[in-house]
């Protein structure tokens, strides 16, 4: 997931993730194409 999708507080993504029956297990950030920050998120269904 692109960092700006997740870090943008005005985006409804946070609300959607909170409503889903999943728990965040781990999250890693890294760059692709040398400059584009991305997140990998591992979620476990509750």
| Sign of torsion over alpha carbons 9, 18, 36, 29 | positive
Q: Which of 13, 42, 24, 41 is nearest to 5 (CA)?
A: 13
pTM (predicted TM-score): 0.59
Range of the domain at 17: 3-45
pLDDT tens digits for 1-36? 677 766 776 677 778 888 889 988 999 999 998 888
Report helix, strand or coil for 21: coil
- Give the Cα separation of 23 and 30 in Å (integer): 21
Count of domains for the chain: 1
Tokens linked to 4:
């700006």
- Residue 3's H or E segment, with its range, is helix 3-7
């Amino acid at each position: 997931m692109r960092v700006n999708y997740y870090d943008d507080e005005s985006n409804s993504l946070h609300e959607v993730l909170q409503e889903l029956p999943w728990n965040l297990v781990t999250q890693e950030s890294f760059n692709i194409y040398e400059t584009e920050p991305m997140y990998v998120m591992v979620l476990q269904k509750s």
